[in-house]
């Protein structure tokens, strides 16, 4: 998904150093002003007695608008020359015990306090960093009036300069230091967000594919603190935060932008009464990005990756009664992190960062020997469901596995040992008939007593592709052709950001899309909570699941021949592949997921052929869309073009004759709805420019659907319309960001969309 070419970047920022100073203990509501010059000043320019009366006046920070680093800072005064000299007076009520320069520089810089040079800084930083002022450098400060002076030299490319004198025991908030921190604190809310309270927040059991009865929901109010990265443990706590919403979101109750130089801490007391002989597991649905966890001041584990679940066995550190849980989080929102659409400076097609806990937290008791996970597969020809449990803990001599398949509470079949369940008169899963079978899996001791037991479910279906009479590959479901038709769905919410406000909210949205005539959703650059896929399974909605992107990208050449791959270091690739593998394991049992998409628009695209072969071997039950709209390599099952605003595809190119051809993104027609915009002051754009009326908006949509229907007749087998909802500055949704206004009602959309899925009738029985 790419922004319109005519769209201006705006006055953002780029690489960085600078100097600004705060009167400590007096938070600023706006960025401070400096005296500055771009002409080399006379000797002694850094001294307090020097006259800067003829210098210009400007608000920090200073920089240009080039380069990717423009998303990391706030430019208040444009600076594009090779050198800049800055001076500013500030007052200190007292000299802090641990003063520091708080600085972001690009390239070389030198900093003076009251005429004394306190820092020579080579190269550049990628975000704000702290330079301690110790010894003689600390002695340069004094009570009352002080002068900070900075010279910054820029070699080439993007540039920015900003620095502050701070107390390093107190984490600075960029919103206070600069007057803004790159975030929009919109008041937009969904109707579900308006109903959220600490007592009702996400009460549902988080894992519908492996459910236990004995669990303890830890969503709700936690204490929080923000410190610098070097702090071992917070001495004080800033207040409370509502879990599971990221700290930047409105629903968290905090709305603070976590910076790359900061750590976010959580604390909660939990009353537990551990059962003798049982183990207690502490589960996190997702924490962005890197975290450590303590129980009663004992570290129980750490995790890297912001999109997938993890858990720790905390039994040995528990006590009967109150137990203190503590979580520490780092999130740089940059580098090789798989972060998707999150950036430090949102704009265009990139959005507000998310940090910390953003999916459910819970505990559950299990036996020492217990079921760790299930791998479920189905065979529609044999009418069987195969379950491969993974067990944890010391083997119990004589243990056995037992499984049951049920429909409406009635047991249809059982299996022991090798868990292959035969389903009589099996009904197949499809969007037209999303039939699911309940499962119960038990681990038994030699006497037949239950050691551990979980419930789950399965849908029998088969994903494939076949050539039609004209030689074009078509998607099939259960052996019958099916046109994949769905929206690009990014899963962002104005009140919770990446965290949906409630289970009801995601269920409503999926049903609305089904009512609008879609049979598929492309889940774009995000892994949803498990209950999202559960509702897709129940409602009958196929899912294309993207891998979350991050890291270096090659030039984007669409479907042109001879593409390039980005050159990734081996350890970066291992982390990317680990998270991709874990995503497939995590979501592999959901029948709604029919396609995996490793890369989008060349974002982080690397070693494409080896990734594609690995993915095809890893999950042969689904199709691989190696690069949606990205650089095409001859691997996987799908060739995918992005075309805005109307759909298109190079149908005459023989390179794609052995692939299912799809238009993986198109449309993006925008329409602004007053009082439902994330930020009315922003550009608020759509692809192809904005229509003059709602009627013209509808006409543009109908035109695009007509073109896609024509392409379907010529060999296109799927289409993805951008997008379900408006997202921040993008107002190209079928409904507004707060989901309160549907620009075209679902019933009307269904009529317009009808030609795309006409004739599809996947078999409901083998």
Same domain assignment for residues 508 and 655? yes
Return the pLDDT at 758.
Answer: 87
First to last CA, the chain: 39
Return the pLDDT at 180.
Answer: 75
Same domain assignment for residues 470 and 447? no
In a domain, 669, yes or no: yes
- Asked if residue 710 has pLDDT above 60, the reply is yes
Q: Are 735 and 742 in contact (CB under 8 A)?
A: yes
In a domain, 504, yes or no: yes
Burial of 212 (0-12, 13-18, 19+ CB in 10 A): middle
Same domain assignment for residues 326 and 390? no
Helix (H, G, I), strand (E, B) or coil at 576: helix
Q: Are 405 and 437 in contact (CB under 8 A)?
A: yes
Q: What is the DSSP string of 414-443?
A: EEESSEEEE-TTPPPB-SSSB--EEEEEEE
Q: Are 469 and 481 in contact (CB under 8 A)?
A: no
- Asked if residue 70 has pLDDT above 60, the reply is no
Please say which residue of 135, 158, 178 terminates a domain: 178
Reported as type and span, the H/E element at residue 331 is none
DSSP 230: T
Helix (H, G, I), strand (E, B) or coil at 739: coil
Strand duo 370-379 + 384-392: pairing: antiparallel
User: Over 237-251, what HEC string results?
Assistant: CCEEEEECCCCCCCC
pLDDT digits (tens, 9 = 90+) for 630-645: 999 999 999 999 999 9
In a domain, 19, yes or no: no
- Asked if residue 30 has pLDDT above 80, the reply is no
Same domain assignment for residues 488 and 453? no
H-type alpha helices, 524-658: 530-539, 570-587, 608-618
Q: Which of 517, 525, 520 is nearest to 541 (CA)?
A: 520
The CATH number assigned to the domain holding 170 equals 2.60.120.260
Please tell me the distance from the alpha carbon of residue 313 to that of residue 370, in angstroms, as a whole number.
Answer: 12
**What's the rounded mean pLDDT across residues 584-596?**
98
**What's the rounded mean pLDDT across residues 729-738?**
97
Q: Which of 58, 100, 102, 87 is nearest to 145 (CA)?
A: 87
What average pLDDT does the chain have? 92
- Asked if residue 764 has pLDDT above 80, the reply is no
Return the pLDDT at 762.
Answer: 58
Please tell me the distance from the alpha carbon of residue 477 to that of residue 749, in angstroms, as a whole number.
Answer: 24
Same domain assignment for residues 695 and 631? yes
Return the pLDDT at 556.
Answer: 96
Supply φ then ψ for residue 730, to 5 degrees. -80, 115
Q: Are 738 and 676 in contact (CB under 8 A)?
A: yes
Return the pLDDT at 222.
Answer: 98
**How many domains, in total, are found in the chain?**
4
Q: Which of 451, 680, 477, 641 is nearest to 560 (CA)?
A: 641
In a domain, 8, yes or no: no
Q: What is the CA radius of gyration of the chain?
A: 28
- Asked if residue 549 has pLDDT above 70, the reply is yes
Q: Which of 583, 516, 483 is nearest to 725 (CA)?
A: 516
Torsion of CA 124, 128, 129, 131, to 10 degrees: 90
Return the pLDDT at 149.
Answer: 97
Supply φ then ψ for residue 473, to 5 degrees. -70, 135
Provide the sign of the torsion angle of the four alpha carbons 687, 692, 698, 699, taken in this order: negative
556 CB neighbour count, 10 Å cutoff: 18
The CATH number assigned to the domain holding 424 equals 2.60.40.10
Q: What is the DSSP string of 107-122?
A: SEEEEEETTEEEEEE-
Same domain assignment for residues 120 and 173? yes
Sole residue written with tokens 């003689």: 136
Helix (H, G, I), strand (E, B) or coil at 139: helix
- Asked if residue 8 has pLDDT above 50, the reply is no
The CATH number assigned to the domain holding 664 equals 3.20.20.80
pLDDT band per the 50, 70, 90 thresholds, residue 19: very low
Q: Which of 639, 651, 624 is nearest to 710 (CA)?
A: 651
- Asked if residue 9 has pLDDT above 90, the reply is no
Same domain assignment for residues 515 and 626? yes
Same domain assignment for residues 725 and 584? yes
Return the pLDDT at 81.
Answer: 93
Question: Strand 410-416's sheet: what is its strand order?
Answer: 410-416, 400-407, 437-444, 450-458
Helix (H, G, I), strand (E, B) or coil at 552: coil
Please tell me the distance from the alpha carbon of residue 217 to that of residue 164, in angstroms, as a whole number.
Answer: 43
Please tell me the distance from the alpha carbon of residue 527 to that of residue 499, in angstroms, as a whole number.
Answer: 11
Q: Which residues pair with 252 in a beta bridge?
A: none
**What's the rounded mean pLDDT across residues 510-519?**
98
In a domain, 189, yes or no: no
- Asked if residue 416 has pLDDT above 70, the reply is yes
Strand duo 660-667 + 716-722: pairing: parallel
Residues of the domain holding 265: 212-367
Provide the sign of the torsion angle of the four alpha carbons 392, 398, 401, 404, taken in this order: negative
Q: What is the DSSP string of 3-61?
A: --TT----S---SB-B-----TT---SSPPEEEEESSPPPTTTTSTTS--TTSEEEESP
Burial of 227 (0-12, 13-18, 19+ CB in 10 A): buried
In a domain, 205, yes or no: no
Please say which residue of 124, 153, 178 terminates a domain: 178
Q: Are 318 and 274 in contact (CB under 8 A)?
A: yes
Return the pLDDT at 65.
Answer: 65
Q: Are 21 and 112 in contact (CB under 8 A)?
A: no
Return the pLDDT at 1.
Answer: 58
Reported as type and span, the H/E element at residue 444 is strand 437-444
- Asked if residue 692 has pLDDT above 60, the reply is yes
- Asked if residue 668 has pLDDT above 70, the reply is yes
Please tell me the distance from the alpha carbon of residue 616 to that of residue 39, in angstroms, as a whole number.
Answer: 60
Return the pLDDT at 183.
Answer: 78
Q: Which of 593, 661, 584, 580 is nearest to 628 (CA)?
A: 661
In a domain, 192, yes or no: no
Return the pLDDT at 66.
Answer: 60
Q: Which of 314, 536, 563 is nearest to 430 (CA)?
A: 536
SS3 content of the chain, % helix, strand, coil (to 5): 15, 35, 50
Higher pLDDT, 587 or 28: 587
Please tell me the distance from the alpha carbon of residue 320 to that of residue 275, in angstroms, as a whole number.
Answer: 9
DSSP 232: S
- Asked if residue 11 has pLDDT above 60, the reply is no
Helix (H, G, I), strand (E, B) or coil at 643: strand
- Asked if residue 68 has pLDDT above 50, the reply is no
pLDDT digits (tens, 9 = 90+) for 377-392: 999 999 999 999 999 9
558 CB neighbour count, 10 Å cutoff: 17
Please tell me the distance from the alpha carbon of residue 30 to that of residue 137, in angstroms, as a whole number.
Answer: 28
Return the pLDDT at 125.
Answer: 82
DSSP 619: -
Please tell me the distance from the alpha carbon of residue 628 to that of residue 639, in angstroms, as a whole number.
Answer: 8
Strand duo 484-489 + 480-481: pairing: unpaired
In a domain, 187, yes or no: no
In percent, the amount of the chain with pLDDT more than 90 equals 82
In percent, the amount of the chain with pLDDT more than 70 equals 94
pLDDT digits (tens, 9 = 90+) for 229-250: 888 999 999 999 999 999 999 9
Return the pLDDT at 31.
Answer: 79
Same domain assignment for residues 425 and 500? no
- Asked if residue 352 has pLDDT above 50, the reply is yes
Same domain assignment for residues 486 and 426? no
- Asked if residue 298 has pLDDT above 70, the reply is yes
Same domain assignment for residues 430 and 498? no
Please tell me the distance from the alpha carbon of residue 111 to that of residue 152, in angstroms, as a whole number.
Answer: 9
User: Structure tokens of 438?
Assistant: 């309940």
pLDDT digits (tens, 9 = 90+) for 199-233: 999 999 999 999 998 899 999 999 999 998 888 99
pLDDT digits (tens, 9 = 90+) for 46-65: 999 999 999 999 998 898 86
**What's the rounded mean pLDDT across residues 502-517?**
98
Same domain assignment for residues 338 and 437? no
What is the CB-side half-sphere exposure of residue 512 using CA atoms within 13 A?
20
Please say which residue of 436, 458, 480 terminates a domain: 458
């Amino acid at each position: 998904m790419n922004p319109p070419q005519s769209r201006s970047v705006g006055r953002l920022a780029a690489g960085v150093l600078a100097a600004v100073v705060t009167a400590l203990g007096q938070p600023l509501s706006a960025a401070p002003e400096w005296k500055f010059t771009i002409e080399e000043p006379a000797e002694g320019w850094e001294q307090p007695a020097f006259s800067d009366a003829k210098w210009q006046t400007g608000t920090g920070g200073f920089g240009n608008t080039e380069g990717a680093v423009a998303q990391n800072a706030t430019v208040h005064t444009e600076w594009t020359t090779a050198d800049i000299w800055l001076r500013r007076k500030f007052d200190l009520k007292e000299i802090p015990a641990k003063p520091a320069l708080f600085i972001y520089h690009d390239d070389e810089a030198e900093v003076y306090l009251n005429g004394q040079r306190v820092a020579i800084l080579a190269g550049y930083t990628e975000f704000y960093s702290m330079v301690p002022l110790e010894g003689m450098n600390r002695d340069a400060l004094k009570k009352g009036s002080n002068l900070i002076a900075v010279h910054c030299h820029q070699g080439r490319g993007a540039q920015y300069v900003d620095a502050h004198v701070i107390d390093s025991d107190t984490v600075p908030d960029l919103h206070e230091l600069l007057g803004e921190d790159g975030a929009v604190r919109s008041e937009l809310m969904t109707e579900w967000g308006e109903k959220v309270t600490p007592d009702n927040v996400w009460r549902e059991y988080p894992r519908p594919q492996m459910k236990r009865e004995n669990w303890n929901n830890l969503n709700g109010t936690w204490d929080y603190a923000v410190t610098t990265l070097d702090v071992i443990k917070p001495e004080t706590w800033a207040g409370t935060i509502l879990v599971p919403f990221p700290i930047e979101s409105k629903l968290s109750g905090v709305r603070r932008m976590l910076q790359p130089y900061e750590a976010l801490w959580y604390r909660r007391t939990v009353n537990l009464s551990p059962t003798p002989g049982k183990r207690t597991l502490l589960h996190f649905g997702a924490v962005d990005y890197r975290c450590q966890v303590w129980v009663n001041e004992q570290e129980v584990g750490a995790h890297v990756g912001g999109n997938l679940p993890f858990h720790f066995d905390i039994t040995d550190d528990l006590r009967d009664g109150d137990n203190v849980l503590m979580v520490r989080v780092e999130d740089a929102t940059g580098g090789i992190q798989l972060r998707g659409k999150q950036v430090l400076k949102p704009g265009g097609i990139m959005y507000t960062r998310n940090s910390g806990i953003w999916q459910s937290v819970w505990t559950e008791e299990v036996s020492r020997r217990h079921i760790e996970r299930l791998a479920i597969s189905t065979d529609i020809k044999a009418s069987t469901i195969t379950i491969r449990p993974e067990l944890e803990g010391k083997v119990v001599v004589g243990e056995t596995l037992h499984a049951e398949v049920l429909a409406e509470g009635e047991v249809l079949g059982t299996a022991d040992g090798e868990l292959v369940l035969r389903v009589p008169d099996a009904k197949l899963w499809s969007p037209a008939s999303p039939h699911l079978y309940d499962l119960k899996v038990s681990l038994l001791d030699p006497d037949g007593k239950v050691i551990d037991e979980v419930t789950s479910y399965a849908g029998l279906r088969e994903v494939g592709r076949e050539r039609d009479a004209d030689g074009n590959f078509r998607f099939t479901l259960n052996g019958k052709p099916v046109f994949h038709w769905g929206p690009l769905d990014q899963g962002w919410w104005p009140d919770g950001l990446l965290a949906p406000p409630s289970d009801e909210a995601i269920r409503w949205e999926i049903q609305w899309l089904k009512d609008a005539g879609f049979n598929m959703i492309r889940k774009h650059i995000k892994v949803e909570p498990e209950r999202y896929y559960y509702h897709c399974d129940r409602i009958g909605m196929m899912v294309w699941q993207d891998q979350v992107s991050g890291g270096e990208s090659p030039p984007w050449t669409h479907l042109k021949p001879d593409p390039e791959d980005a050159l990734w270091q081996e350890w970066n690739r291992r982390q990317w592949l680990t998270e991709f593998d874990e995503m497939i394991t995590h979501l592999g049992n959901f029948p709604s997921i029919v396609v995996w998409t490793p890369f989008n628009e060349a974002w982080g695209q690397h070693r494409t052929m080896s990734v594609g072969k690995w993915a095809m071997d890893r999950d042969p039950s689904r199709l691989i869309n190696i690069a949606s709209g990205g650089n095409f390599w001859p691997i996987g099952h799908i060739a995918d073009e992005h075309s805005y605003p109307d759909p298109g595809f190079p149908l005459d190119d023989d390179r794609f004759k052995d692939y299912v051809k799809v238009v993986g993104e198109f449309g993006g027609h925008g329409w602004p709805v007053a009082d439902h915009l994330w930020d009315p002051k922003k550009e608020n754009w759509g692809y192809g420019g904005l229509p003059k009326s709602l009627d013209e908006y509808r006409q543009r949509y109908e035109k695009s659907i007509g073109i896609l229907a024509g392409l379907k007749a010529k060999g296109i087998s799927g289409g993805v319309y951008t997008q379900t909802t408006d997202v921040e500055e993008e107002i190209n949704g079928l409904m507004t960001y707060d989901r309160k206004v549907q620009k075209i009602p679902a019933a009307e959309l269904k009529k317009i969309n009808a030609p795309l899925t006409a004739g599809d009738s996947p078999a409901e029985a083998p």
